[in-house]
A = this chain, B = another copy of it.
């Protein structure tokens, strides 16, 4: 085991990252028509694969990623990388998602937050609109989770994969897993939505708005038109700060920072520049992540998540969940502030109501929502059994 330190907390990781070294690949969809009926002339996206597609082409597993994530789910790009992909603990030779058996496909989403990250390939408001030769900005079409799934369907077709053995992912990746199962029940055999529920309820819609609000408040945002000047990184950093706290838990903040000061001798009672350690760490985390991120992409991700209802928002909120007829494994934690236990259990109950098999796995941990990423190893053997079942 090696130890990885994430936001001050030591995480035990299996020593061996997925091998061999991973290479980002890319694919392009042309004349992509959105759920809203608009056309994106060229949708260029990145993806990674782990393991080998078998001759029968029936061993592929799709993993869409979470809100602030990318397709880097496992392995390293170079030996010297500080950390492997986010779910490396369960993806690799002999691991629960055993790459000796499975061919794992992980895809960058459109409007990916990391628009400025060299390891992300995405298309969104920061991309050039071929009609104007300028960045799209807020003229980029609003996307839905259905659109995200359609981009993955496009890749599936290009890779000539007739059916996914499984679709699984954490948070927004879990949302996309529900969407896949509701939209294409015949194109997959099972789903594993992790730390996610089957629709965005008012509570999630409102919190997503709280995340996004600082961006619109930053004067540099300028209605989304900032690609010629200074980006609204102060607002984006505050948005990322809020997301970071919301995705954690009181156990984490209290256990890690307590009432410590950011700096010895700089009592927060003595001046406005003196901060508590927890605030300082969150400010640093937000600022660090802002650099590789794009503010408009953040807003598009928030919108897509707010709009989410599995299978699309029709007359019956639950229809998409009722349409799911493959086995479902829901993995969640009751310490999750973003997708509370009640919302996940309600989702499971609705899917199960017409006889679809649903297994619920509860994670333990001190990181709240983030335990679906950082603590996924504890569900590893349950995942292995679920995806290996005949």
Contacts and interface: CB of A to CB of B under 8 A. Distances in A.
Interface of A: 35-36, 138, 142, 144, 199-203, 205-207, 209-210, 213-214, 217-219, 234-235, 238, 241-242, 245, 250, 253-254, 256-259, 268-272, 276-279, 282, 303, 306-307, 309, 313, 317, 337, 340, 342-343
A256 to B, nearest CB: 7
Contacts of A242: 210, 213
Contact of A259 (B213, B219, B245, B317): B317
- In order of increasing CB-CB distance, the 8 nearest A-B pairs are A203-B250, A202-B253, A202-B278, A202-B257, A209-B279, A203-B253, A202-B254, A206-B278
B272 A203 contact: no
Contacts of A206: 245, 253, 276, 278-279, 282
Given A206-B276, A209-B279, 4 more contacts: A210-B242, A217-B217, A217-B218, A272-B303
Contact of A202 (B217, B256, B306, B343): B256
B250 A340 contact: yes
A254 B214 contact: no
A245 B203 CA distance: 9
B258 A201 contact: yes
A258 B202 contact: yes
22 contacts: A142-B270, A142-B272, A201-B258, A202-B253, A202-B254, A202-B257, A202-B258, A202-B259, A203-B250, A203-B253, A205-B259, A206-B278, A207-B245, A210-B242, A213-B241, A214-B214, A217-B235, A250-B340, A250-B343, A268-B303, A272-B303, A337-B337
B250 A205 contact: no
A219 B216 CA distance: 12
Contact of A241 (B144, B210, B253, B279): B210
B200 A259 contact: yes
A221 to B, nearest CB: 10
Contacts of A218: 217
Contacts of A200: 259
A326 B110 CA distance: 60
A200 B250 CA distance: 12
Contacts of A271: 142
A228 to B, nearest CB: 19
B307 A268 contact: yes
Given A245-B210, A253-B206, A36 B307 contact: no
A253 B202 CA distance: 6
B213 A238 contact: yes
Contacts of A138: 272
A320 B194 CA distance: 43
Contacts of A250: 201-203, 340, 342-343
A196 to B, nearest CB: 15
Given A213-B214, A241-B213, A313-B259, A270 B36 contact: yes
A238 B215 CA distance: 11
A258 B309 CA distance: 12
Residue from A206, A241, A270 whose CB has the most chain B CB atoms within 10 Å: A206
